[in-house]
Amino acid sequence: TITASMEDYLEMIYRLAGKKGYTRMGDLASALNVQPPSASKMVQKLADMGYLQFEKYGVIELSKKGQEHGQYLLKRHETLERFLSIIGVKEQLLEETEKIEHYISPETIGKIMLLVEFMENNFEWKQAFYEFQKHEG
Amino acid sequence: TITASMEDYLEMIYRLAGKKGYTRMGDLASALNVQPPSASKMVQKLADMGYLQFEKYGVIELSKKGQEHGQYLLKRHETLERFLSIIGVKEQLLEETEKIEHYISPETIGKIMLLVEFMENNFEWKQAFYEFQKHEG
Ligand SMILES: [Mn+2]
Ligand SMILES: [Mn+2]
Among A85, A99, A118, which would you mutate to test the B interface (most chain B Cβ atoms within 10 Å of its Cβ)? A118
Ion ligand 2 residues within 5 Å by Cβ = B 77
pLDDT value at B20 more than 90? no
Residues in CB range of A89: below 8 A, 6 or more apart? A96, B105, B107, B108, B111
Residues A35 and A48 in one domain: yes
Closest residue to A84, CB basis, from B84, B108, B110: B108
- The residue out of B25, B51, B68 marking a domain boundary is B68
- The residue out of B24, B53, B68 marking a domain boundary is B68
* One pLDDT digit (tens) per residue for chain A, 137 residues: 999 999 999 999 999 998 888 999 999 999 999 999 999 999 999 999 999 999 887 899 999 999 999 999 999 999 999 999 999 998 899 999 999 999 999 999 999 999 999 999 988 888 889 999 888 86
Q: What is the ipTM of this complex?
A: 0.90
Alpha-carbon Rg for chain A, nearest whole angstrom, is 18
- The residue out of A18, A53, A68 marking a domain boundary is A68
User: Which positions in chain B touch A109 (Cβ < 8 Å)?
Assistant: none
Largest Cα–Cα distance of chain A, in whole Å?
A: 57
Interface touch B103/A105, C-beta < 8 Å:
no
Closest-approach residue (CA) in chain A for B91 = A107
